[in-house]
Amino acid sequence: MRNSLVPRDDKWYLGAGDGLVWAPPFPEWLAAPGFWDEAHLFQYAISPLFTVTLLADGVPGLPPPPLTPPPRCLRQRWTPATLTLEHAVGPLRAREVRSAPGGSLASEWVVRNPTARAVMLDVVVWTAVDGASLAAADVRGDRRALRFVRMVADRQAHRARVQHLLALAPTAQSFAAYRSEASTPTLPPRFDLTPFYDRWRRSGGLGNELHLEGIDPRGLVFLGLERRFRIAPGAAATFSASVSLALDWGGGAAAGKPDGEEPRRLGRPTAAAERGWQEFFASVPGFRCSDPYLDRCWWYRWYGLRLNAIAGGIGNYRFPTVCEGIGYFHLPITYSAQCHMRELRWLADPAWARGTLRTFLAHQNPDGSLPGRVFVDHLRRSDFYHADWGGAVEALQAVHPDAAFEAEVYPGLVRYAEWLLRTRDADHTGMIDVVNQYETGQEFMSRYQAVDPEADRAGWESRMRLKGVDVTVYGYRLLRALERLAGRVTPADVARWREAASRTGRAILDKMWDPVAELFFDVNRRTARPTGVKAAVCFYPFATDLVDARHVDGLGRHLFDAGEFWTPYPVPSSSVDDPLFNPDAEWKGKRHNCPWNGRVWPMTNSHLIEALAHVVREQRAEWAPQLGELVRRFARMMTFDGDPDRPNSFEHYHPYTGRPSLYRGIDDYQHSWVNDLIVSHVMGVLPDGSSGLTVWPLAIGVERATLDHVRVAGRRVSVTLEGKRFRVKVDERRAGEGRVGEPLPIVF
C-alpha cells in the first residue's frame, strides 16, 4: 500500500468505506474465529455475525468427534485491509485472514496438516440470531448459502430489517437452521452449545433442513453451513466464510440495490479488500516527513476517513459523506462534518467533500435549522449542533472553485443563517445564543454553570441563554461567507449579509473582548457582560480577520501559560485554574464520557492551531516555535505510549500524560482535522481558487517534508521543504522557491 502505516498487533478495525464497519470497542471474542463481536451497519449494531468451528477426524453419519481444542490464537497482525490471525488447532496450524471487502465481512482460511497422517476436517460456519427478530418466512437457503432477515433497533429505538447472506466457499455440503430456547444471556461461540452438535448423529453433517417451528419465537435461531475436507500429510485446505449485510427497504430490496437483489457472494475477499485500500491510498496526496509523528499521522488520518466513509446512494445518504466514528457514532454528525470538509478538500475529486455538506442540506428542517445527525433511514431525535459551516465552505471553494456548487448550496445556507439569527440572536446583539450544553458538542464546563447552576443536569431542552464565543465565531464566518457567495450568486443580497456580519464582528470585539483580562469570553445574556470563564474556545476569534495588535498579547499571555493552557500536552478545554478543572475526565466527582472541563480534545486543538497560525502569519512571526511545539505535541499525543508507529484518534486525552480516553473505547474518531493543518501550515499551501495560491510554510521546526500532487483549481501542486528553503511545482513544472516562514505567491 502507498502509505507509511506500519502493520500492528494491537488493532482490529475493518471496513471499506460503505457504512459497514467491524470495530467493536471492547471485543470479547477477538481471538475466536470469524466475527462474533458486534459490527455496525450505519447506526445499527449487529451481533453476532458468525464463527467458524473446525472438527477433526469425524465420520459421516456418526456423532462429531470429541471437540478439537478451540483454536488458540498465536499472533495477530493488522493492516487497514486485513486482520491476520495465526491459530493452533490441536496438531493443525491455520491462518485466518479477516477482511471487509465491501458490504461483507469475510474470514479466509488456510489450514495446514503438519502431521504424518491424513486428517478429515469438518468446517462449520454458524451463527445464532435472536429468535424474536426473524420469522420462519425470513429464512431460506440451501448448500450454496443461508439467507435471512433479522430485525434490529438503533439507540433511538427505530427498527429496521437487515438482510444477511451467510456463505461458505467452496460450496457447503450440508446446512441447517434450528430454533432453540436461549441457555445463557450471552452465547459464546461454542459449537457444543448448539443444536447442531446434538443432531449430528441422526442426520450426518448439519442435516440439510430448515427447522423453524416452535410454540414461542423467543430464544435463538441457529444457522449453519458445513463442508468436509481431507487434508493429506503436509498439505493444506483452503476455504472462506462470509456474511453480507444490507438494509431491507421492503419487498426484499437491499440497501442501494434494485428490488429483489440480495447481498452478493464473495470471490476472493482478501484480494478485494486489499485492492480497495490500495486504490484509496493511491488516490490521496502523498506526504513524507522527517518527523515520524507527522508522517504516520497523515496516512492514519486518511485511513480513518475511509474507514468511516459512506459511499452514497443509500437511504438518506444520497451523497458520499463521512461518519463521525465507530460504534453509535457511525453516522454523519454536524459537529464533525466541518472537519471532514476541510480534510477531504485535498482530494483530487471534490465530490466527497461536497457530499458532506449536501447530506445535511438535503435534510434541512422546515424552519431552516440543520439536523445534528442524519440516520440512514430516519431523522428521529436528530438534535442540533452548531458548526463552522461558513469556514468549511470557503475552505473547500478555495481548493475546488465551482460556481454551480455555490449556487446550489447558497439557498440552504441562507435559510440556516436566517434561522440562526431569528432564533439565536432574537435580541439583535450580533451574538449567538447557546441554549443547552450539548448543542456546542462540549458538555460539562464551567462556562455553562456561569449562567445556569443547573446546566449540567439539564438535557437537550432549551433552558439557558449563553452567548457563546465559539458559536458566535461560527456565525460570523457564515455571514462573511454568505456575503462573498452572494456577490457571485445573488449580488442584491451582499449588503444584507455584510451588515449582519459587521454587527456580529463588532459584538465579538466590543462585547466579548475583556480588555483587562485580554481575552474573549462568553457573554451572560442576562447581564450583557463577559462571564470571565477561561476556556479553549476563548481563542477562536484569533482565527478570524477581526483581531489586531490590540488583542494578540492576550493570546500569548493565556495560551502559553502552564498555569492556564500550556500543559505538557496542550490545549486543555478548560483553563487549569478553573475551579472545576479536572484532567482525569471527572466532573463533580464522577468520570464522564465527554467532559470538557480539562481534557484535551483534538477538535479544539484543530481550531487553536488555525488561530495561532493565523496570528503567526499576520502579527507575531516570532511565535512560530510555539506553533511548532503545539503541532508536534498534538501529533505525539495521538499515539499509544509515544510510539509513532501506533497512532490513534480518540475523543479526548489527558493534558499531562497524553493518555487517550481508552475507557471510552472509541478510537478512529473523526472529530477534528489534522491533514488540513499539515497541508496549510507545515507545507504552507494556501489556495485562492482559480487565481492561484500562496505557499507559506511556517518555521515550526520540520527539517524535511514533501507533499505530492494536491489539487488546487485542477492544478497539481507539489511542495518540497528542506531546511530553511522550499520548492514548488505546479503541473510538474518548477513554479518557484522560497524561504520557510515567508510567503511565495503563485499565479495560475
pLDDT in tens, 618-647: 999 999 999 999 999 999 999 999 999 999
Report whether 744 contacts 737 (CB < 8 A).
Answer: yes
C-alpha cell at 734: 518548477
C-alpha cell at 172: 457447503
Flag whether pLDDT at 67 surpasses 70: no
Name residues whose C-beta falls within 8 Å of residue 375's C-beta, 6 or more positions apart in sequence.
42, 43, 154, 156, 158, 316, 331, 382
pLDDT in tens, 693-736: 999 999 999 999 999 999 999 999 999 999 999 999 999 999 99
Q: What span, in angstroms and rounded, lies between the C-alpha atoms of 627 and 614?
A: 10
Flag whether pLDDT at 201 surpasses 70: no
- Over residues 45-65, the mean pLDDT reads 78
Where helices occur in 184-333 by DSSP H, the ranges are 195-203, 269-283, 292-307
pLDDT in the model for residue 733:
96
Q: Per-residue b/e over 664-682, b at no fewer than 16 CB within 10 Å? A: bebbbbbbbbbbbbbbbbb
Flag whether pLDDT at 263 surpasses 80: no
Flag whether pLDDT at 57 surpasses 90: no
pLDDT in the model for residue 58:
60
pLDDT in tens, 116-126: 999 999 999 99
Cα distances (angstroms) measured from residue 618 to each of 63, 248, 476, 502: 79, 55, 19, 21
**DSSP, res 477:** H
pLDDT in the model for residue 463:
82
Q: What span, in angstroms and rounded, lies between the C-alpha atoms of 173 and 613?
A: 65
- Over residues 88-106, the mean pLDDT reads 95
Candidates 513, 502, 567; CA nearest to 539 is 513
Helices 334-344, 389-399: inter-axial angle, 10-degree rounding: 20
What amino acid occupies position 520? F
Q: 10 Å Cβ neighbour count for 621?
A: 13
Q: What span, in angstroms and rounded, lies between the C-alpha atoms of 121 and 654?
A: 50
- Tell me the pLDDT of the chain averaged across its residues: 94
C-alpha cell at 345: 478538500
Flag whether pLDDT at 265 surpasses 70: no
Q: What span, in angstroms and rounded, lies between the C-alpha atoms of 497 and 499?
A: 5
Pairing type for strands 220-231 and 119-130 reads antiparallel
DSSP 402-462: -HHHHHHHHHHHHHHHHHHHHHH-TT-SSPPEE-STTTTT--S-HHHHTT-TTGGG--SS-
Please give the biggest Cα pair distance in the chain.
88
C-alpha cell at 695: 505557499
Cα distances (angstroms) measured from residue 293 to each of 386, 720, 741: 31, 18, 21
pLDDT in the model for residue 70:
79
Candidates 300, 283, 291; CA nearest to 78 is 300
- Over residues 183-201, the mean pLDDT reads 88
- Over residues 19-42, the mean pLDDT reads 97
Flag whether pLDDT at 257 surpasses 90: no
pLDDT in the model for residue 476:
98
pLDDT in the model for residue 264:
55
pLDDT in the model for residue 186:
86
